Amino acid sequence: MATIVGGLTTSHVPALGGAMARGVQGEPYWKPFFDGFAPVHRWLDAVRPDVAVVFYNDHGLNFFLDKMPTFAVGAAAEYRNADEGWGIPTLPPFRGEPGLSWHLIEHLVEREFDITSCQEMLVDHAFTLPLKLFWPQGCPVATVPVAINTVQFPLPSARRCIALGKAVGEAIASWDSDQRVVVIGTGGLSHQLDGARAGFINKPFDLQFMDSLVDDPEWAAQFSIPELVEKAGTQGIELLMWLAARAAVPGPVRKVHGNYHIPISNTAAGMMALEPA
């Protein structure tokens, strides 16, 4: 059976892609964020995953306000990156793992999740930037995208996203393969890009949330979606992907490394690496 080697979480702010494209990661504004990845690069070199299951949110590349699935799973042989207008260079296609994709889809439907199955799927910065951050020299792993709606209300609750992550973890563990799988959750942390609270960041909440992923992974489920928006900002609700990724890693975990830095383009930017304890 397949093995889950751990879980990774990171912010996916488009400005990070611009910084990497310009080669300015060592400048004072960017250095505290990018320096946090060196220990995780070493960890990935040691655990050597074959596949990454990536929980992310689509920003209108596949789905828009007229058609917005709550959960969607990619089942393609490859995933192409398209121009989103941010000035970020497009990356080569990402290799898919259809065998795991269909196994996930079948398992999730059996667990009564209503999944949109995507045999063609474009991927945006929420998917591509984390893979570039974790593997700067090029993505060596096959991928399975799992999109969670964080754009069009009503959104899935924190508890529902935790349940999704657990079901994905069960599916990976039951996949008849000897491949090693890392689970990635992208987005956040606290930020709000518009309205009266534009620029909102809540560092105490962010740090408590990050700690909870190790010590009490269902802590955030006590809050409704409106309460999480109040605490983390409208776009900070992307923490739902972090919850799903943590829930996919079974049992207690050990924090390999974590990093938190503000601001990155008016966003609280965080990163964590977790492995089974």
Q: Which of 12, 59, 125, 261 is catalytic?
A: 125
**How open is the CA angle 103-111-105, to the nearest 5 degrees?**
25
Q: Exactly one of 103, 107, 191, 261 is catalytic; name it.
A: 191
CA 146, CA 241: separation in Å to the nearest integer? 9
Tokens of 267: 């966003």
Active site residue 125: yes
CA distance to 10, 91, 210, per residue, from 128 (Å): 12, 8, 22
* Rounded Cα distance, 140 and 9, in Å: 18
Exposed e or buried b for every residue in 112-142, given b needs 16+ CB within 10 A? Answer: ebebbbbeebbbbbbbbbbbbbbeeeebebb
Q: How many residues does the chain have?
A: 277
Enumerate the active-site residues: 125, 191
